[in-house]
């Protein structure tokens, strides 16, 4: 958007919006602090009506009346500012680094959460930023009554907390009324996770047998096999570059540059054996060779015509004229357009597609099924807990023990001798 500047966080506070705090979309890999210095958090929304507006605040529905909710007063001009006194460019850099502290997936989730809160506040006449504890509690109740999972409501509460902390506004989520409301929701709604079925080794084999012998099929085979063999999170899979792969006599070493538990980017390696049954290394090599991928993203979209994007230089000049990555007459290098990555949703779709092809209930499978399947299969085969965690990248033993307990639920069952 040329000719206009996006408001800084102080302006967001003044307008009462939960916007202009986080990037609207994650950036492609670049040298720009890991993410763009965009000054918008969630989608823009009109400020909610305040006390004294001509229209007045919207009346609350009866189910919220007993919460004694009252619209929050407008924030004063002297509200605390995240980067008060700094030059505009310095303030932008400070805010950009702050936003880079959150993972892309968290940013996307928070955008949706804040949009939901803004919409609720706009409907009932509350200011979303800074929000009153009463407004936050009422929003949580509305979400619970709408059938939202306790985990979703908890994440939305975290988004509200984060937005207020960024602009140094009083945190309404710490109010005892809000804490009690959230505790009651967890007790009433429950917090049991909706866990996806584990795609164990035999299931992965069944999926691989259903893949077509096309370029798309080769990509899907490589993704299923590598995702299982490395117990990868889907975000880790789609972030892999060819430069992250290093061949070894025993198989393949894969560098995970950043993960859910390593947001600082220290990185760690996963060892992928050649294998005799699933053969993840061979399937990955077949995909890369067939697609002509020698650098950039490992897993990419394949068009209906069977073309893998990002493997040829971009077109320049006359139709059909291609210029390779070399300096032109102006001395400026002409590089190919950055290759697109497969999305995390595409990983889930691929798993579901082949679960259906294998005669399984696709609704119980997802991207996490590959990771859960590896851990479950390893536990069934008696693998050491520490070795399983080396591959999965888990830091909390309790999470892995949960998988092992489910895998061994009938092994040595206390009632097996008399039931």
Whether the predicted pLDDT of 258 surpasses 70: yes
DSSP code of residue 259: B
Q: How many CA atoms lie within 13 A of 343 on its CB side?
A: 5
Enter the CATH code of domain 9-189. 1.10.150.130
394 is catalytic: yes
**Residue that wins the pLDDT comparison between 132 and 319:** 132
> Given 20, 108, 148, 394, which residue is catalytic?
394
In Å, how far are 33, 254, 261 from 29, measured between CA atoms?
Answer: 9, 19, 20
Which position has the higher pLDDT, 128 or 336? 128
Cis link prior to 262 (omega < 30° from 0)? no
Phi, psi of 412, deg, nearest 5? 65, 35
Residues 372, 403 contacting (CB under 8 angstroms):
yes
Q: For tokens 């400026």, what's the residue? A: 332
Rounded-to-integer distance, Cα 407 and Cα 227, Å: 19
Return the CATH architecture of domain 201-407.
Orthogonal Bundle (1.10)
| Residue 260 falls in the annotated catalytic set | yes
The torsion angles phi and psi of 346, rounded to 5 degrees, stand at -65, -35
Active-site residue (options: 49, 270, 368, 374): 368
- Give the Å distances, CA to CA, from 397 to 200, 387, 392: 20, 11, 11
Q: Where are the domains of the chain?
A: 9-189, 201-407
What tokens does 215 get? 């370029």
**Is pLDDT at 59 greater than 50 in this prediction?**
no
Mean pLDDT to the nearest integer, 99-112 = 79
368 catalytic residue (yes or no): yes
Q: In this predicted model, which residue has the larger pLDDT, 63 or 225?
A: 225
Provide the CB-side half-sphere exposure for 165 (13 A, CA).
10
* Amino acid 280: pLDDT: 97
Q: Which of 6, 168, 260, 274 is catalytic?
A: 260
285 is catalytic: no
Choose the weakest-confidence range: 84-93, 321-330, 363-372: 321-330
411 is catalytic: no
Q: What average pLDDT does the structure give for the chain?
A: 76
Question: For residue range 309-327, what is the model confidence (pLDDT) as tens digits?
Answer: 765 544 333 323 323 333 3
Task: Name the catalytic one among 162, 354, 374, 403.
Answer: 403
Q: Would you say 229 and 374 are in contact if contact means Cβ atoms under 8 Å apart?
A: yes
Catalytic entry in 233, 234, 270, 300: 233
Dmax (CA) for the chain in angstroms is 85
Catalytic residue among 234, 300, 371, 374: 371
Q: What percentage of the chain has pLDDT greater than the value 90?
A: 47
Instruction: Classify residue 199 by its DSSP letter.
Output: -
Higher pLDDT, 149 or 17: 149
- Tell me what the mean pLDDT of segment 36-62 comes to: 36
* pLDDT band at 255; cut points 50, 70, 90: very high
Model confidence at 219, in pLDDT bands (50, 70, 90)? very high
pLDDT in tens, 318-356: 323 323 333 333 333 333 567 899 999 999 999 999 999
């Amino acid at each position: 958007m040329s000719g206009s500047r996006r408001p800084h966080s102080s302006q967001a506070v003044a307008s009462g919006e939960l916007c202009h705090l986080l990037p609207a979309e994650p950036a492609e890999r670049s040298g720009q602090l890991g993410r763009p210095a965009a000054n918008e958090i969630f989608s823009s929304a009109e400020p909610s009506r305040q006390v004294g507006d001509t229209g007045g605040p919207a009346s609350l529905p009866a189910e919220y009346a007993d919460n004694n909710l009252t619209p929050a007063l407008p924030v004063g001009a002297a509200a605390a500012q995240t980067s008060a006194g700094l030059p505009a460019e310095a303030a932008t850099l400070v805010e950009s680094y702050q936003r880079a502290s959150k993972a892309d997936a968290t940013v996307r989730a928070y955008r949706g959460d804040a949009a939901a809160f803004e919409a609720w506040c706009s409907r009932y006449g509350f200011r979303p930023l800074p929000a009153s504890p009463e407004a936050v509690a009422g929003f949580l109740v509305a979400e619970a009554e709408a059938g939202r999972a306790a985990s979703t409501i908890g994440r939305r509460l975290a988004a509200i907390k984060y937005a207020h902390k960024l602009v140094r506004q009083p945190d309404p989520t710490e109010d005892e009324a809000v804490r009690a409301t959230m505790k009651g929701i967890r007790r009433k709604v429950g917090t049991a996770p909706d866990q996806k079925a584990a795609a164990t080794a035999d299931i992965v084999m069944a999926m691989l047998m259903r893949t077509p012998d096309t370029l798309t099929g080769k990509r899907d085979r490589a993704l299923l096999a590598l995702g299982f063999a490395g117990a990868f999170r889907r975000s880790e899979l789609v972030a892999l570059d060819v430069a992250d792969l290093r061949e070894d006599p025993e198989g393949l070493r894969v560098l995970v540059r950043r993960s859910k538990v390593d947001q600082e980017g220290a990185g760690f390696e996963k060892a992928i054996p050649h294998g005799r049954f699933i053969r993840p290394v061979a399937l990955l090599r077949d995909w890369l060779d067939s697609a002509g991928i020698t650098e950039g993203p490992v897993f990419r979209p394949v068009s209906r015509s069977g073309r893998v994007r990002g493997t040829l230089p971009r077109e320049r000049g006359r139709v059909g004229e291609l210029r390779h990555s070399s300096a032109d007459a102006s001395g400026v290098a002409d590089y190919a357009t950055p290759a697109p990555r497969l999305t995390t949703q595409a990983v889930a779709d691929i798993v579901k597609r082949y679960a259906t092809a294998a005669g399984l209930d696709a609704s119980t499978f997802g991207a996490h099924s590959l990771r859960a399947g590896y851990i479950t299969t390893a536990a069934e085969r008696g693998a050491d807990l520490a070795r399983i965690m080396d591959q999965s990248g888990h830091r909390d033993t309790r999470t892995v023990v949960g998988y092992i307990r489910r895998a061994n639920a009938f092994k040595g069952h206390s009632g097996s001798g008399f039931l």
